[in-house]
């Protein structure tokens, strides 16, 4: 990407896509969402001759919405092969949908697809700056040519290898998250909040509150949530799903503050 190019992404998509696009001097093209969800069927209408990259977070942070395999594959078929599509699977483990993306199919069909995966979420290695990419030989070959020799450190690599093999932790986290996500969603909805259905490990919701004020008030009680005005969702708060006790504490404090 450079000053002459553009990147296409959904509105309310993960903020880093905008930051990297801008830092390369390229133009940001945003595709409107439908019910907060990426409208992948519209992406091909927004690209132009300057477009080099499309970014898709699935599920997306901070909306928690996801796109099905069919939606994603259709989009890939509608885009020219000269455009690099980055499919960001930061929260893929938390998805509980049968129609979610099938990487074997996608990677074998599309040489212009780059799938990225971080260890910052379910593996909990956020500060180690470690992740990986999956793509065609061709694309990986190109990346290898420009890759810096020491781009990730050996301690982070060692931790990532251990974390990826720790199936027990991953299974436990998925189960806890699925149960608690459903419970928190229901409890927030019962309190009159409007929650966006989430396939991630967080829920974004709005209600009869000022998001920035609520953020401060919850912080005073030791609960850190995230107002997401930066994502053009100024009425919303994003709360991460915690343990049962943490969620209870959050819900308790929330209802105290709002009553």
Ligand X SMILES: *Cc1c(COP(=O)(O)O)cnc(C)c1O
Which residues in this chain contact ligand X in the complex, by CB under 6 A?
14, 57, 61, 88, 90, 118, 120-121, 126, 131
Nearer to ligand X (CB atom), residue 56 or residue 106:
56
* Closest distance to ligand X from the beta carbon of 121 (Å): 6
* Closest distance to ligand X from the beta carbon of 248 (Å): 25
* Closest distance to ligand X from the beta carbon of 160 (Å): 11
Nearer to ligand X (CB atom), residue 61 or residue 247:
61
Terminal C-alpha separation, the chain:
50
Nearer to ligand X (CB atom), residue 162 or residue 216:
162
Task: Confirm if 89 and 58 have CB atoms less than 8 A apart.
Answer: yes
SS3 131: strand
* Closest distance to ligand X from the beta carbon of 94 (Å): 11
For the sheet with 6-10, list strands across it. Answer: 27-31, 6-10, 51-57, 84-88, 113-118, 131-135
Pairing of strands 27-31, 6-10: parallel
Give residue 38's region: left, alpha or beta (phi > 0; psi -120 to 50): beta
Nearer to ligand X (CB atom), residue 131 or residue 207:
131
Residue 93, both tokens = 């483990």
Q: What is the CA radius of gyration of the chain?
A: 19
* Closest distance to ligand X from the beta carbon of 217 (Å): 25
Nearer to ligand X (CB atom), residue 12 or residue 121:
121
């Amino acid at each position: 990407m450079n000053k002459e190019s553009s990147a296409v992404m959904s509105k309310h998509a993960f903020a880093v896509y905008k930051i990297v696009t801008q830092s390369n001097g390229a133009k940001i093209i945003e595709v409107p969402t439908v019910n907060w969800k990426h409208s992948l069927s519209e992406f091909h209408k927004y690209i132009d001759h300057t477009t080099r990259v499309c970014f898709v977070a699935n599920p997306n942070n901070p909306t928690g919405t996801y796109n099905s395999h069919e939606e994603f594959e259709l989009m890939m078929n509608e885009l020219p092969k000269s455009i690099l599509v980055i499919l960001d699977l930061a929260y893929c483990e938390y998805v509980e949908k049968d129609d979610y993306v099938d990487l074997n199919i996608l990677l074998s069909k599309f040489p212009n697809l780059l799938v990225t995966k971080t260890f910052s979420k379910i593996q909990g290695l956020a500060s180690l700056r470690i992740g990986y990419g999956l793509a065609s030989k061709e694309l990986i070959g190109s990346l290898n040519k420009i890759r810096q020799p020491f781009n990730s450190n050996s301690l982070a690599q060692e931790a990532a290898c251990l974390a990826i093999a720790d199936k027990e932790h991953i299974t436990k986290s998925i189960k806890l998250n699925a149960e608690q996500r459903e419970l928190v969603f229901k409890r927030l909805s019962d309190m009159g909040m409007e929650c966006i259905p989430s396939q991630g490990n967080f829920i974004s919701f709005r209600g009869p509150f000022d998001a920035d004020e609520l953020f401060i008030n919850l912080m005073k009680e030791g609960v850190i949530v995230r107002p997401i005005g930066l994502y053009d969702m100024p009425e919303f708060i994003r709360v991460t799903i915690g343990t049962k006790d943490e969620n209870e504490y959050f819900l308790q404090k929330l209802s105290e503050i709002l009553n």
